[in-house]
């Protein structure tokens, strides 16, 4: 009886190790080489967690991100989700190589939020000095659709 339990536990452990061996593929972009003219960046199948990224355009060392918010979220969740999206782009996807990120998002074909993230903020995110939940405190040029400011 004890041997059967031991074999069962070993089999479970092997299965768990096997399940955890697949790494999440992370798409990383490099904006460290400024361009003289604006160019569209290949999305390589990238989809954000909180919004669908429509395009990335690099213009010099500035990256413009256009996103489309997903349905079924409260106004506050839509705004916070976009902050999280930019934080993740910086922390996990190579956007720390940009000097500035200009971000704007639409919902139901209407612009709902836009903001700018400067190089200092980008560096602090990458260094772990700005947490995801605090990203909104560090953006500039913030614009939110008045109907969403409740």
What is the structure's pLDDT at 126? 93
* Domain presence at residue 3: no
* Domain presence at residue 55: yes
pLDDT digits (tens, 9 = 90+) for 4-34: 544 444 444 444 444 444 444 556 666 677 6
* Domain presence at residue 29: yes
- Total structural domains in the chain? 1
What is the structure's pLDDT at 21? 40
- Say whether pLDDT at 128 is over 90: yes
* Domain presence at residue 30: yes
* Domain presence at residue 10: no
What is the structure's pLDDT at 17? 44
> What's the mean pLDDT in 60-89?
86
pLDDT digits (tens, 9 = 90+) for 77-121: 888 889 999 998 898 888 888 999 999 999 888 999 999 999 999
* Domain presence at residue 90: yes
* Domain presence at residue 76: yes
pLDDT band, very low/low/confident/very high, at 3 (cuts 50, 70, 90): low
> What's the mean pLDDT in 52-66?
86
What is the structure's pLDDT at 14? 46
Full domain range(s) for residue 42: 25-148
Residue 147 — φ and ψ, nearest 5°?
A: -65, -20
* Domain presence at residue 105: yes
């Amino acid at each position: 009886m004890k041997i059967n339990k031991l074999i069962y536990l070993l089999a479970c452990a092997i299965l768990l190790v096997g399940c955890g061996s697949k790494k999440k593929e992370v798409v990383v972009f490099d904006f460290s080489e400024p361009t003289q003219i604006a160019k569209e960046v290949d999305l390589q199948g990238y989809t954000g967690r909180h919004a669908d990224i429509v395009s990335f355009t690099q213009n010099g060392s500035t990256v413009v991100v256009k996103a489309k918010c997903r349905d079924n979220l409260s106004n506050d969740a839509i705004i916070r989700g976009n902050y999280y999206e930019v934080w993740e782009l910086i922390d996990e996807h190579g956007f720390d190589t940009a000097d500035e990120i200009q971000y704007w998002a639409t919902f139901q074909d209407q612009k709902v939020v836009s903001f700018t993230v400067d190089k200092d903020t980008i560096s602090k995110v990458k260094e772990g000095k700005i947490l995801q939940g605090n990203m909104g405190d560090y953006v500039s040029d913030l614009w939110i659709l008045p109907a969403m400011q409740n």
